Amino acid sequence: MGWGRVVGAVVCTVKEPSLIGVPLLLLEPLNQSFATAGRPFVAADAIGAERGQIVIYETAREAAGAFAHRPPVDAAIIGIVDQTVRS
Amino acid sequence: MTIARVLGSVTSSIHHPALNGAKLLLVLPFGTSRAGLAVDGVGAGTGDTVLIVEEGAVAANYLGRTDPPVKSVVVGIVDVGLSVAEA
């Protein structure tokens, strides 16, 4: 599980039927200092995130569990970050 | 399983139902420079050295839910003596 910034959206007219209605967003992974930490990737959005928001994502087979019908995805957005507390 | 240091906690009011009641920690795996997030299963806090499992079936046990969209869980707090040896 990690966090990243929503930097865009992906639209596919032709797609696997179970992906219909599943928003696909472009995510830029971030490190602990909110700096870019890798190449952007596509994640299925389970909670209604918007561009610019910092979101929580999970990868691999568990990502499909974000949706009741378990679409074929390997990354899912599962939360929007409010704040972090460090000491 | 990996060993990581807890950098802080993360709050998210808009999240997937599987994360209801879960505490999220910002964790930095030893030997890397990129932090991740994990569900806290043991009551760990900032500065602790912790043991992390990345497996959905384990997360399912901690979250009390089948097929949660989560795989990263803190399952132990490493003793201080061991963490010094590891570092």
Contacts of A57 (CB under 8 A, 6+ apart): A1, A2, A3, A4, A27, A43, A63, A75, A76, A77, A78
**Range of lowest pLDDT (A5-14, A24-33, B78-87):** B78-87
CATH of the domain at A57: 2.40.50.220
Instruction: Report the amino acid identity of residue A10.
Output: V
Q: Read off the pLDDT of residues A38-82 as tens digits, 9 standing for 90 and up.
A: 999 999 999 999 999 999 999 999 999 999 999 999 999 999 999
| In-domain check, residue A61 | yes
Report CA torsion sign: A54, A56, A60, A62: negative
Q: CB-CB: which of A31, A65, A66 is closest to B33?
A: A31
User: Sign of the C-alpha dihedral, residues B1, B50, A54, B18?
Assistant: positive
**What is the token pair recorded at A50?**
């918007």
Burial B27-51 (b: 16+ CB within 10 A, else e): bbbeeeeebbbbbbbeebeeebbbb
Residue A19, in any domain of the structure: yes
The residue whose two tokens read 């000491």 is A87
From the options 2.40.50.220, 3.50.50.60, 3.30.420.110, 3.40.50.720, give the CATH code of B2-12+21-86. 2.40.50.220
Q: Which residue of B has its CA nearest to A74?
A: B69
A86 is a domain residue: no
- On chain B, the residues whose CB falls within 8 A of the CB of A82 are 11-13
- Using the predicted structure, report yes or no on whether residue B86 has a pLDDT greater than 80: no
pLDDT of B81 reads 57
Residue A25 domain boundaries: 2-80
Confidence of residue A21 (pLDDT cuts 50, 70, 90): very high
Asked if A43 has any chain B CB less than 8 Å from its own CB, the reply is no
Please state the domain count of chain A: 1
pLDDT digits (tens, 9 = 90+) for B49-61: 999 999 999 999 9
In three state form, how does the secondary structure of A33-75 look? CCCECCCCEEEEECCCCCCCCEEEEEECHHHHHHCCCCCCCCE
Domain boundaries, chain B: 2-12+21-86
For residue B83, pLDDT over 60 is answered with no
In what helix (H) or strand (E) does residue A4 lie, and over which residues does it extend? strand A2-10
B82 has pLDDT over 70: no
Residue pair B37/B26 in contact by the 8 Å Cβ criterion: yes
Residue A85 lies in a domain: no
Angle at B35 between CA B81 and CA A27, to 5 degrees: 165
Contacts of A23 (CB under 8 A, 6+ apart): A9, A44, A45, A48
Residues of chain B with C-beta less than 8 angstroms from the C-beta of A37 = 34
pLDDT at B79 over 90: no
pTM for the structure as a whole:
0.92
Q: Least CA distance to B28: which residue of chain A?
A: A32
Of residues A41 and B80, more confidence is placed in: A41
